[in-house]
């Protein structure tokens, strides 16, 4: 046995042990996506950056990750429903992966491609240079599922996009469809593995919330609480934000997507903290609303408890068959009962998963395995119809909930949300109380 054969055998045994079980999931997902494609359909997905902020690590495009399990930059996935014919290879390939080998493997790239192909179970793995050749062997496409180009997009084209546009122009009547069409219904139902990744992201985000409760005080800037939150994320092993951290104090509590963080927190402020990290690609999304001084004012208490009642009432109703529209009806019924319905500004839910606003049919009744947020809110702009003690009170309370076969499981259950518990935790010292000599 020569050295090369020996290395191949060792690598194959090692990689099949390492990847086999996990890989089956991705092979199965590619198979499901292929089944959903139209008869002459072609899917082409390439790496796009999903990263949110400098200082956090690269994160793969969600659909591409979902179908490959790969977090590498610069990869291209091709799925062909009719298959791409390779006369010289004597095979028809339905699933193909294009990537360039790392520099240290460049001299043995054919061996590298072969090993990747065998361990990841693609019909073909080859270099990105082969793209032109591959496209040439495709004569007919009815639907093109891609995240690379949109029809008529002219500006800011990459080399890949230029190649594809040239190729597409030769095909008459091709329809462009988002690749999410192929993955959404599968991604909507989470596996045990996905739920455990989400739970880990949620656990870290709950620690960050507790630390923010303890650190909150008048006289510091919103961005200092943001720093505490993101320190905890990184320290506990999250490499990416699920979305831009929202710490909105006083009037900023009314701004649903506020992330400037520049306000000096005032004693009477209420602060909406809508935060979430990612873990193993899966997102957490949790909101708590707390008073700057550690004690809610009577008006803040009143509004807070109405939102809390809406949050709890929606959760109580969750089970397979319940709809997202019904969740909104519950929010409006509870808040309306107290006369605050006109201060409701958004629906109380979205799917959660690889993306923070995850894919999935909004009209379909909930099923076991769906994960949704429950996030009712009241936002009172300064206005003459209400006493000024209520002005600039924004309250949102958001939990992440898994739908189970007989009801629900609140994945964020360990994070307190009653006024008593929040005020109690706020008495403790946190990172925000650090003093330097």
Binding site for Mn ion (CB under 5 A): 285, 373
What is the C-alpha to C-alpha distance for residues 339 and 397, in angstroms, rounded to an integer? 19
Q: Crossing angle of helices 3-36/109-120, nearest 10°?
A: 50
Q: Which one, 84 or 273, has the nearer CB to Mn ion?
A: 273
Give which of 57, 101, 83, 188 is closest to 140, Cα–Cα.
83
CB of 328 to Mn ion, least distance (A): 14
Q: Which one, 148 or 352, has the nearer CB to Mn ion?
A: 352
CB of 127 to Mn ion, least distance (A): 41
Q: Which one, 167 or 351, has the nearer CB to Mn ion?
A: 351
Q: Which one, 63 or 373, has the nearer CB to Mn ion?
A: 373
Give which of 66, 62, 61, 135 is closest to 98, Cα–Cα.
135
CB of 179 to Mn ion, least distance (A): 24
What is the C-alpha to C-alpha distance for residues 117 and 125, in angstroms, rounded to an integer? 5
What is the C-alpha to C-alpha distance for residues 282 and 280, in angstroms, rounded to an integer? 6
Q: Please name the residue that has the structure tokens 């935790």.
A: 425
What is the C-alpha to C-alpha distance for residues 97 and 355, in angstroms, rounded to an integer? 23
CB of 379 to Mn ion, least distance (A): 15
CB of 287 to Mn ion, least distance (A): 7
Which residue's CB comes closest to Mn ion?
A: 285
CB of 401 to Mn ion, least distance (A): 12
Q: Please name the residue that has the structure tokens 């429903």.
A: 81
Q: Which one, 334 or 352, has the nearer CB to Mn ion?
A: 352
Q: Which one, 93 or 246, has the nearer CB to Mn ion?
A: 246
Q: Please name the residue that has the structure tokens 């080859």.
A: 126
CB of 371 to Mn ion, least distance (A): 12
Q: Which one, 147 or 311, has the nearer CB to Mn ion?
A: 311
Q: Which one, 135 or 335, has the nearer CB to Mn ion?
A: 335
Q: Which one, 285 or 355, has the nearer CB to Mn ion?
A: 285
CB of 311 to Mn ion, least distance (A): 12
Q: Which one, 331 or 373, has the nearer CB to Mn ion?
A: 373
CB of 67 to Mn ion, least distance (A): 25
Q: How many angstroms separate the first and last alpha carbons of the chain?
A: 67
CB of 402 to Mn ion, least distance (A): 15
Q: Which one, 29 or 396, has the nearer CB to Mn ion?
A: 396
CB of 350 to Mn ion, least distance (A): 6
């Amino acid at each position: 046995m020569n050295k090369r054969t020996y290395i191949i055998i060792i690598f194959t045994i090692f990689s099949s042990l390492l990847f086999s079980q996990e890989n089956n999931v991705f092979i199965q997902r590619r198979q499901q996506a292929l089944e959903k494609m139209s008869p002459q359909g072609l899917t082409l997905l390439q790496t796009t950056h999903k990263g949110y902020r400098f200082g956090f690590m690269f994160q793969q495009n969600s659909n591409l990750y979902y179908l490959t399990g790969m977090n590498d930059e610069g990869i291209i996935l091709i799925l062909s429903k009719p298959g791409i014919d390779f006369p010289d290879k004597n095979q028809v390939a339905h699933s193909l992966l294009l990537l360039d080998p790392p520099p240290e493997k460049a001299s043995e790239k054919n061996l590298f491609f072969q090993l990747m192909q065998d361990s990841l179970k693609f019909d073909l793995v080859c270099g990105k240079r082969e793209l032109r050749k591959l496209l040439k062997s495709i004569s007919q496409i009815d639907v093109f599922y891609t995240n690379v180009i949109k029809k008529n997009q002219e500006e800011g084209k990459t080399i890949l996009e230029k190649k594809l546009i040239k190729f597409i122009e030769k095909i008459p009547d091709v329809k462009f469809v988002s690749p999410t069409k192929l993955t959404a219904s599968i991604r909507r139902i989470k596996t045990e593995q996905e739920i455990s990744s989400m739970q880990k992201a949620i656990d870290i985000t709950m620690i960050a919330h507790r630390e923010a409760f303890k650190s909150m005080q008048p006289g510091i800037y919103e961005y200092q609480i943001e720093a505490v939150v993101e320190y905890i994320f990184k320290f506990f092993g999250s490499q990416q934000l699920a979305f831009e951290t929202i710490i909105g104090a006083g009037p900023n509590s009314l701004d649903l997507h506020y992330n400037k963080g520049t306000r000096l927190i005032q004693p009477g402020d209420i602060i909406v903290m809508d935060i979430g990290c990612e873990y193993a690609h899966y997102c957490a999304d949790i909101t708590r609303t707390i008073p700057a001084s550690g004690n809610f004012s009577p008006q803040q208490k009143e509004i807070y408890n109405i939102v809390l009642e809406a949050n709890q009432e929606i959760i109580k109703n969750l089970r397979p068959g319940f709809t997202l529209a019904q969740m909104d009806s519950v929010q409006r019924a509870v808040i309306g009962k107290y006369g605050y319905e006109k201060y409701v500004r958004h629906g109380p839910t979205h799917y959660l998963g690889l993306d923070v606003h995850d894919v999935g049919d909004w009209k379909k009744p909930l099923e076991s395995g769906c994960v949704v947020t429950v996030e009712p809110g009241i936002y009172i702009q300064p206005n003459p119809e209400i006493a000024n003690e209520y002005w600039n009170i924004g309250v949102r309370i958001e939990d992440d909930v898994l739908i189970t076969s007989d009801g629900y499981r609140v994945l964020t259950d360990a994070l307190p949300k009653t006024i008593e518990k929040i005020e109690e935790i706020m008495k403790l010292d946190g990172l925000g109380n650090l003093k330097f000599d």
